[in-house]
Structures are given as structure tokens and as C-alpha cells.
Amino acid sequence: MLDHSHNRPTLPAEIARRRTFAIISHPDAGKTTLTEKFLLFGGAIQMAGQVRAKGEARRTRSDFMQMEKDRGISVSASAMSFDYGQFRFNLVDTPGHSDFSEDTYRTLTAVDAAIMVIDGAKGVESQTRKLFEVCRLRDLPILTFCNKMDREARDTFEIIDEIQENLAIDVTPASWPIGMGRDFIGCYDILRDRLELMDRADRNRVAESIKIEGLSDPKLAEHVPAALLEKLREELEMARELLPAFDRQAFLDGTLTPIWFGSAINSFGVKELMDGIGNYGPPPQIQRSESREIAPEEKSVTGFVFKVQANMDPKHRDRVAFVRLASGHFERGMKLLHVRSKKPMAVSNPVLFLAADRELAEEAWAGDIIGIPNHGQLRIGDALTEGEALRFTGIPSFAPELLQNVRAGDPMKAKHLEKALMQFAEEGAAKVFKPIIGSGFIVGVVGALQFEVLASRIELEYGLPVRFESSQFTSARWISGPKAEVEKFVNVNKGHIAADHDGDMVYLTRLQWDIDRVERDYPALKLTATKEMM
Ligand code: G4P
């Protein structure tokens, strides 16, 4: 559990101004559009483009990468940093595909808060719910943005009720919509007593904002048609009676979510939301390790790898490991201890995903995400420190629940397939097993759609059409134990043994009965459904 209590030492100003968060949503709710407006108002891009790929082509890649392709703007994948007022925002991208993968979970281990975007007409959808549950596991504070208010939306109370009931979280309105669909004119900003009016003529223009002295202020009638004003007053009164007021601690504890209403495409409500993250959102939080808690203000630098990405630059076959700094002030060229290999590592060319371009990071602070190019030494879960042998906890690994055989459409291209699969295994996008007898590979995933996503990525990135086919096996177990015993077991069960991408042995089975039998016949062996990440 993260510690959001106020009884902590004051953070150094550079750390206190950081806000590291992700946006979660169901496909089509408007995450990409909202991200784009964030970048626009953060000065990271000059203009919001209107060109976009449609459908699955878009979803299979990171939304950031897709934006880069579609709009010719250079926003690098996975994390973006930009300044907004006094704040430094680190926006971490959650994978854009519509199925769940381990990637998604892990991304959420690198952030301190999340913005949940819902579509005003559709409310809480399946993917929102799943992602929300992951946030709840970590008690992440959540800000809600109810998007597409320029269209016919549901009744405001109904939307709030649905969130409260469906997600079992208290909701407090930070703003209140005035009118709906074609009659939507803007919002009443409850937290700051302002009237925000939407500009329908220019989508990139920020709304007019008028200071209001309470609901009886005559200024309201100047801008809001009488019928809408009456309804607004009634609804706000009801809201005050029925809904909890904003309470920062409850928000930081993850039990209360403030909701803003707006229209991302019309740049409406976006700045209010950004102000909300800045003013109320958590600064970098304490991280946990096996031996102790790590506070962001600690002097020495620590961080953990939460994502590895290959093929970011087609010219180089390098990988970039994304590191969330847990503590300290990092400076370029620092020598850090790579805890798993016990070897020092000079971090000479770290990348900070700043503004319009990737930039060499000269420095970074706790809460920041830096990218470290490497040749495969850095793995998900790895710790980097100034000497302490820390092991961060809370980075989940999942048991592959579905197994399928994979074949290259062109048998001559088997080597290419192997390379592609190894890349995805390293990225943590799938588990890849090579049976010790015969040819071919078995791929293990958590959700069925991941097979489609993998197939489309292999085709896109390696120009290789592939087929996934059902496998005779239904589950995989990592084998550990005394060496002689493991060898004996492997020899007797060759038809069931495969190696994962690290060369570790896995037992493939069809039935739980098989596993029970092994446990009975080989008491010295240990079979585990997940492999330690570190
Ligand atoms: P996603 O990343 O969550 O999948 O959503 P994305 O931002 O791509 O938005 C999905 C669709 O919703 C897009 O339409 C986008 O233009 C539209 N949209 C986003 N915000 C708003 C809003 O505030 N109001 C309205 N009315 N629509 C919004 P599309 O048809 O897929 O693409 P396009 O042809 O409009 O570009």
C-alpha cells in the first residue's frame, strides 16, 4: 500500500512538483485525444492534429507511438514529461490495445495516480472496470474525466451513481455540466466557483472562465440561459445534499474520486483536470522493497525497470529499459549498481521523454521516468541503486493462462519468428517456450486477444505473417530443485519440457492431475506457475 499520509518530511521542491500518472479508459472513450490536449497545454506539441488511424491498426501500438506516426510529431513511446505551470507532469502511457496484458499492470506500478476517462454516453465500460481494479489493488488516487459532453450524454446523477455502484468508490463532482449535447454550454467549476464556457468555434481554444460569487451571482444569468440556470441551481443543490464534498485525504487514499465533465476534442475541461492533478494529485510516493521502504527524498538514487521496449528506433536493435526513479537526484553519467548482476553500470545516455523530442537526460528526480538504452542486460523488475542490494516488490508477474503454438506463415522464416518472439518475451508481452523436442514455439498469454495483438505486431514489425494454433498443453510450470533431480525429471518427461527465453526449464501439462503426480513422485522438485521477475 502506498503511503499518502501528510505526516512526511517536506519533499525537496523539485520532487514535490512532480506528478507521475497514467490515463486509463475503455477504447474510444477519448484517451488519445485527452493525451494530445495535455501535450498541447503542456507546450509539448504546437497543434493538435486531426488525422488518425482507425480501428485495430491504432490499438495494436502504443497510442503515443501511433500519434508519432499519424501526426508527424515526435512523442516517444511509453512516457512523456512536460511542464504545466509550476508542475512537472510525467504521463506514462498504458498500452493501447484493447486486451489486457501484463504490460498494463506493470505500467501502473510506475505511477502515483491515474486519470480514468469515461464516455458520457456509455459510462463505465468493461476495460475501465478492469483497469480500475488494478489501480485499486495499489490504492492509487483516481481522477475521473467524463468526456464527450458535447454529445448526448447520460444524466449527470446517473453517471455518478453508476461509477459509485459499479466501482464501489465515492464520487465528488469537481465540476457540473450545464446543458447537454447540442445545448451543452460549459461547466460550473465547483472547486473554484467559476463558470467555464466552451468555445464551439475553435476546438483548440480554451474556454472562457468567469469568476462567480456563489450561485446567486447575477453574472450567471448573463451567460447561462434561464432554463439551464434553473436546472443548474437545482442540481447543484441536490448534489450538495447527496454527494460527498471533496476531501483531499480520501482522494489520496483512493476512496474518493473527483469527477470533471468536459469534451477533450473541444479542449474543454482539460485544463481544469490538469490543475486538479497539479493541485491535489500526489507527489512521488514511497516505494517498497523487500528490506525496507524507499522514500523519494532519500539522497541516493534508486529506481526500478517497469518496462522494456525493443525496436523503438528501427536503425538500432537496442532496447530501452524504462526506469521509474524511486529516490534521489539522478545525474547523467552516474555509475549505478545493477543489483541483479551485481555489476556497475555507467548510465551515460539516459533518455528523458521531454516535450517535442527525446532528449538526453542531464538530470532527473524521484518520480521521473528515464529510458536507458541497453543491449538486453536490463530486465523488468531490475533495480538500479548507488550500491544497496535492493529488491523492489510489487511488480507482478502473471501465470500464462492460455497456451498456443505459433508458426511462421513462411517456414523459411523460422529464425525471424524466433527473434520476434524473443523480443516480446523480453518486453514481457508474452511468455515464449521452446519445446526441447521438435520445432516451433509455444506462446503463453493472460488474455486471448493478446494472440491477435502479437500476430499483428509480428507482421507489422518483422513483416512476418504468423499463425497461432491450439496447443495440446493448457498450462506451464517452472521447474526448480536439486540439479540431479531436475535432470532426471527432464529426461523422463522430454515430451513435456520446454525452455523459456532465459533457458529455464518449464513443464507443460494438460491436466492438474499431471502436476499433482509430479509433486507426489518428485517431492524435491518445485513447480511454480509464475517466475520471479527479479
Ligand atoms: P481512445 O484513445 O480512448 O481510443 O479514444 P480517442 O481519443 O481516439 O477518441 C475516440 C473517438 O472519440 C475519436 O473519434 C475522437 O475524435 C472522439 N472524441 C474524443 N473526444 C471527444 C469529445 O470530447 N467529443 C466528441 N464528440 N468526440 C470525441 P473517431 O471517430 O474514432 O476519430 P475521428 O474521425 O473523430 O478523428
Atom of ligand 1 nearest to the CA of 36: 7
How do residues 343-396 score in pLDDT, each as one tens digit? 999 998 888 776 555 567 789 999 999 989 888 889 888 999 999 999 998 877
Q: Nearest C-alpha to atom 27 of ligand 1 is from which residue? A: 148
Instruction: Tell me what pLDDT residue 58 has.
Output: 38
Q: Ligand 1 centre and the CA of 335: distance in Å?
A: 44
Ligand 1 centroid distance, CA of 79 (Å): 21
Q: Which amino acid, residue 359?
A: E
Query: 238 pLDDT exceeds 70?
Result: yes
Please answer whether residues 307 and 335 qualify as being in contact, where contact means their C-beta atoms are separated by less than 8 angstroms.
Answer: no
CA of 27 to the centre of ligand 1 (A): 10
Is 70 a residue whose pLDDT tops 60?
Answer: no
Position in ligand 1 atom list of the atom nearest CA 63: 2
Nearest CA to ligand 1 atom 10: 28
More reliable by pLDDT, 436 or 424:
436
CA 25 / ligand 1 centre spacing (Å): 12
Closest C-alpha to 441, from 515, 458, 449, 61: 458
Q: Which of 265, 268, 272, 273 maximizes ligand 1 atoms within 8 Å of its Cβ, making it the mutation to test the pocket?
A: 265
Best residue for ligand 1 mutational test, from 23, 24, 33 (most atoms within 8 Å of Cβ): 33
**Which is the closest atom of ligand 1 to the Cα of 54?**
31
pLDDT value at position 312?
58
Question: Which of 28, 116, 152 to probe ligand 1 with, by most ligand atoms within 8 A of CB?
Answer: 28
Amino acid at 438: G
Report which DSSP code applies to 319.
E
Integer Cα distance of 87 and 367 in angstroms = 12
- Grid cell in block for residue 257: 474520486
pLDDT of residue 532: 63
- The grid cell for 382 is 531490475
Q: pTM of the full predicted structure? A: 0.83
Kindly report the protein residue whose alpha carbon is nearest to atom 6 of ligand 1: 30
CB atoms within 10 A of CB 139: 16
Q: How far is the CA of 29 from the centre of ligand 1 (A)?
A: 7
pLDDT at 57: 38
Q: Which three cell numbers stand for residue 440?
A: 516451433
For residue 317, the 8-state DSSP code is -
Q: Which atom of ligand 1 is nearest to the CA of 51?
A: 36
Closest atom of ligand 1 to CA, residue 26: 3
Q: What is the ipTM of this complex?
A: 0.98
How far is it, in rounded angstroms, from Cα 35 to Cα 80?
10
Rounded to the nearest angstrom, the distance between the alpha carbon of 265 and the centre of ligand 1 is 7
Please, what is the end-to-end C-alpha distance for the chain in angstroms? 20
User: For residue 281, what is the DSSP state?
Assistant: S
Q: Whose CA is nearest to atom 15 of ligand 1?
A: 30
For 12, which DSSP code? P
Question: What pLDDT is stored for residue 95 in this prediction?
Answer: 67
Q: Is the pLDDT of residue 2 over 50?
A: no
Q: Is the per-residue pLDDT at 54 higher than 50?
A: no
Find the helix or strand (DSSP H, E) in which 180 lies.
none
Identity of the amino acid at 309: Q
Count of C-beta atoms within a 10 Å radius of residue 288: 17
Which pLDDT band, with edges at 50, 70 and 90, does 143 fall under?
very high
Closest-lying ligand 1 atom to the alpha carbon of residue 33: 7
CA 272 to ligand 1 centroid distance, Å: 20
Give residues (CB < 6 A) around ligand 1. 25, 27-33, 52, 63, 147-148, 150-151, 263-266
pLDDT digits (tens, 9 = 90+) for 261-306: 999 999 999 999 999 999 999 999 999 999 999 999 999 999 999 9
Residue 148 alpha carbon to ligand 1 centre in Å: 8
263 CA: nearest ligand 1 atom = 23
- Residue 494, exposed/middle/buried by CB under 10 A (0-12, 13-18, 19+)? exposed
Q: Please name which of 128, 167, 149 lies closest in space to residue 26, comparing C-alpha atoms.
A: 128
Contact (CB, 8 A) for 64 and 78? yes
CA 263 to centroid of ligand 1, rounded, Å:
10
Q: What is the pLDDT of residue 467?
A: 92
| H or E segment and range at residue 189 | strand 186-189
Is pLDDT at 77 greater than 60 in this prediction? no
Q: What is the pLDDT of residues 461-491, one digit of tens each?
A: 888 999 999 999 999 999 999 999 999 999 9
Dist. CA 120 → ligand 1 center (Å): 12
pLDDT at 49 over 80: no
pLDDT tens digits, 203-226: 777 777 889 988 889 999 999 999
Nearest CA to ligand 1 atom 30: 54
Between the CA of 30 and the centroid of ligand 1 the distance, in Å, is 5
State residue 68's pLDDT score: 47
Q: Which residue is closest in CA terms to ligand 1's atom 19?
A: 30
Q: Higher model confidence: residue 313 or residue 196?
A: 196
34 C-alpha vs ligand 1 centroid, how far in Å?
9
pLDDT of residue 412: 84
Q: Residue 28 Cα, ligand 1 centroid: separation in angstroms? A: 6
